[in-house]
Amino acid sequence: MREESFKFLQTYLNNAAPTGFESSGQKLWLDYIKPYIDDYFVDTYGTVVGVINPEAQYKVVIEAHADEIAWFVNYITAEGYIYVRRNGGSDAVIAPSKRVNIHTKNGPVKAVFGYPAIHVRKPDQDKAPTVETIFLDCGAANKQEVEEMGIHVGCVVTFDDEFWVMNEKFYVGRALDNRIGGFMIAEVARMLKENGKKLPFGLYIVNAVQEEIGLRGAEMIAHRIKPDVAVITDVTHDTQSQGYEKKTNGDLHCGRGPVLTYGPAVQNNLLNMLIDVAEKNEIPFQRAAATRATGTDTDAFAYSSEGVASALISLPLKYMHTTVETVHKDDVDSIIKLYYEFLTQLESGHDFRYLK
């Protein structure tokens, strides 16, 4: 990876952009992608769209989501302890002993998730942490002192962990789900520009908000763009470590390439084109099957307006919704290449319908 791209990835992942509060990360992303696009627009809730060939009638979307899971301040005790509720699928089990930032209008306030010491917990009554039993300690003596720090009910809270590289092979950190996707589609735009590729259609590079609470940003922007084609990238579970049942979760590996998913929301002609492109360009890939829905922004695009030919390219990831989400560098490169090769061979007006 070139040095400038790596620096952007690191900055982008370390920035906090929880669901509903994505604007700082969206600005970083837009600033990075601006040299590689012709135009851009944003919507009311913060989704950012970079556009190449905005006048073209045939519209192709490549998309990722920008938000990360987080917490909300929900209750402040008289003694100055803070109880929280989820903003997205945050995991209470990993919270104890974690450092956090409580985001206030005056800037972040440092705090920790406290928990009773092992010495005072009764082994026969010891249970996994829950949202009701975890709490924040910001060093305040009472509720008034907490409030004087600018903390109030509704302040959003993010973990303080940052991005790093493990064993020269893996990217590790919080919020790889799915800001790594935003990085990948931005790199596609950069490569198209720097390689002088002229696309015969309009390309809409979409970094959507609020996926973690129900695909909301994608729903809104799909209705606005009304694309002809949409290829979504998100993460999926590497199923090799402890706790995954391959009979139900599939047999997926970090380092063995992007995952292409079969399912009702996935348009099979589009999926088969992606497979053909991968095979022709010797890009390794894996296969997965969804049930009623993919659980990603693919569903929002597929069923928008009159129906959009949609497909999903997933990045295998270990330890989803933790602060040590882990992906393989080779898989990131392969997804960028697959997108690039797909776009450069796609013809304007291609009809993906099954029956014509």
- Residues making up the binding site: 65, 177, 212, 234, 321
H-assigned helices in the chain: 3-14, 23-33, 143-148, 176-194, 216-225, 246-249, 268-280, 297-302, 329-345
Contact by Cβ (8 Å): 219, 208: no
Contact by Cβ (8 Å): 232, 64: yes
Nearby residues of 289 by Cβ (< 8 Å), 6 or more positions away: 250, 261, 262, 263
- Name 103's bridge partners: 108, 156
Which residue from 67, 68, 66, 71 is spatially nearest to 98, judged by alpha carbons?
Answer: 71
Catalytic annotation, pick one of 211, 245, 282, 347: 211
Q: What is the dihedral of CA 20, 153, 106, 324, to 10 degrees?
A: -60
Quick count: other Cβ atoms within 10 Å of Cβ 107? 9
Q: Tell me the Cα Rg of the chain.
A: 21
211 catalytic per annotation: yes
Which residue from 18, 142, 62 is spatially nearest to 311, judged by alpha carbons?
Answer: 62
Contact by Cβ (8 Å): 223, 63: no
Which residue from 275, 193, 213 is spatially nearest to 65, judged by alpha carbons?
Answer: 213
What is the distance between the alpha carbons of residues 63 and 314, in angstroms, rounded to a whole number? 12
Binding-site members for Zn(2+) are 65, 177, 212, 234, 321
Nearby residues of 219 by Cβ (< 8 Å), 6 or more positions away: 300, 304
What is the distance between the alpha carbons of residues 268 and 276, in angstroms, rounded to a whole number? 12
Q: Please list the active-site residues.
A: 211
